[in-house]
Amino acid sequence: MTTLALHHTSTLSGGTAPPAAVIRCEGLTRVFRTYKKKSGLLGGLRDLVSRRYDTTYAARDVTFEVLEGEFVGFLGPNGAGKTTVLKMLAGLMHPTAGKATVLGYIPWERHYGYRRQFALLLGQKNQLWWDLPALDSLELNARIYGMDRGHFQRSVRELTEMLRVQDKLNVMVRELSLGERMKMELIAALLHRPRVLFLDEPTIGLDVISQGVVREFLREHNRVHRTTILLTSHYMADIEALCDRVIIMDHGRLFFDGRFEDVMNQFAAYKVVTLACSPPAKIEDVPEAVRLLAEPIWDEVEGLQFKVARTKVPSLCRVLLDHYNVTDIAIHDVSAEEVIGQLFATARKQD
């Protein structure tokens, strides 16, 4: 596969020492072997003598660094290898090849000093006890991490206020809404003030308001505590709101590492122009002079739109003003979801 990587660099001024690399991966690879069973009784007997296995690379030669205090988006379609990499960095899975360090520790050695300094939150996994109030689970976590009572109470007070769930601490976890439960899971993960936080789909299934609260909380926590955060999400709004830098994977390979702004600039080669006019324009009546500049498209909500190269937007607007009684023109950038989709398509064509 042709790599589309834009390698991450940190620009500093005034002679300031560069931040330390908290996460280092070099050639990180994880291979799974899947047993392919033959059908039928005869096939089962043959498997006793000779078995066939399929080899799948969940992660292949993944190499990157994350600096202290960075908030990095980790993107890719389902099956790209994102969660596998997070699990290796959290020490839950051993790599087949390659090496990695987090805070100077080798994660899969599960050193006690490392376990006290990181947290992993999987959006579809629970760490709180369903049949207990959330506060009881938080107190158990505090005992596990050896937190004194004063530190525990201060952390709970600060985190619950920021996430607006002070009145939910004594509610049984099973009775909390999905948004409230996810906020409590975040509090449990951050209770001991980890230096590194791995987040896998933390806003999955949440309503728009809860997503906004969680995003604002993570942004503020990263700003105040300089926590290094690696975030996977299928919601581009999460990435746009929180991450300056993105690492993108597909089929187990890393093929982009750079600023999110660079992704948008490099792969959003066109804009969308929405036209409002009187009488309303119809797509079948678009004149040839307009079609030479842009591709007309019809949106059930927005009405007549034009997909146009960035450099041709001024020319298109002039032609539209000449041919229509324009009441409004809106110019939009392509959505981040569409840009990322184009990026995946480009990489697969080059594979």
The domain that contains 152 carries what CATH number? 3.40.50.300
Domain count, the chain: 2
Q: Which amino acid is at 161?
A: E
Say if residue 207 is in the same domain as residue 283: no
Same domain, 145 and 62: yes
Least confident window among 126-130, 235-239, 318-322, 337-341: 337-341
Q: State the pLDDT at residue 4.
A: 47
The answer to whether residue 10 sits within a structural domain is no
Instruction: Tell me the backbone φ, ψ of residue 66, rounded to 5 degrees.
Output: -125, 130
The residue segments making up the domain with residue 121 are 21-34+52-265
Query: What does the pLDDT look like over 216-249, one tens digit per residue?
Result: 999 999 999 999 999 988 777 888 889 989 998 8
Q: What is the pLDDT of residue 292?
A: 92
Residue 84 — very low, low, confident or very high, per pLDDT cuts 50/70/90? Answer: very high
Residue-level pLDDT at 281:
84
**Number of alpha carbons in the 13 Å side-chain half-sphere of residue 24:** 10
| SS3 of residue 269 by DSSP | coil
Whole-structure pTM value: 0.75
Query: If you average pLDDT over residues 256-273, what whole number do you get?
Result: 80
Q: Are the C-beta atoms of residues 211 and 203 closer than 8 Å to each other?
A: yes
**Do the beta carbons of residue 195 and residue 221 sit within 8 Å?**
no
Answer yes or no: do 274 and 261 share one domain. no
- For position 204, what pLDDT does the model report? 80
Q: Mean of the per-residue pLDDT values for the chain?
A: 84
**7 inside domain:** no
Domain annotation covers residue 177? yes
Give the residue-averaged pLDDT of 5-18. 45
User: Is 199 in the same domain as 274?
Assistant: no
* 228-232 and 71-75 beta bridge pairing: parallel
User: Given this model, what pLDDT does residue 11 score?
Assistant: 39
Give the pLDDT confidence score for residue 270 in this predicted structure. Answer: 81
* Within-domain flag for 129: yes
Q: What is the mean pLDDT of residues 105-114?
A: 93
Same domain, 234 and 284: no
Which of residues 263 and 209 earns the better pLDDT score?
209
Matching residue, tokens 């006890």: 129
At 114-173, the pLDDT tens digits run: 999 999 998 777 888 888 999 999 999 899 888 999 999 999 999 999 999 999 999 999
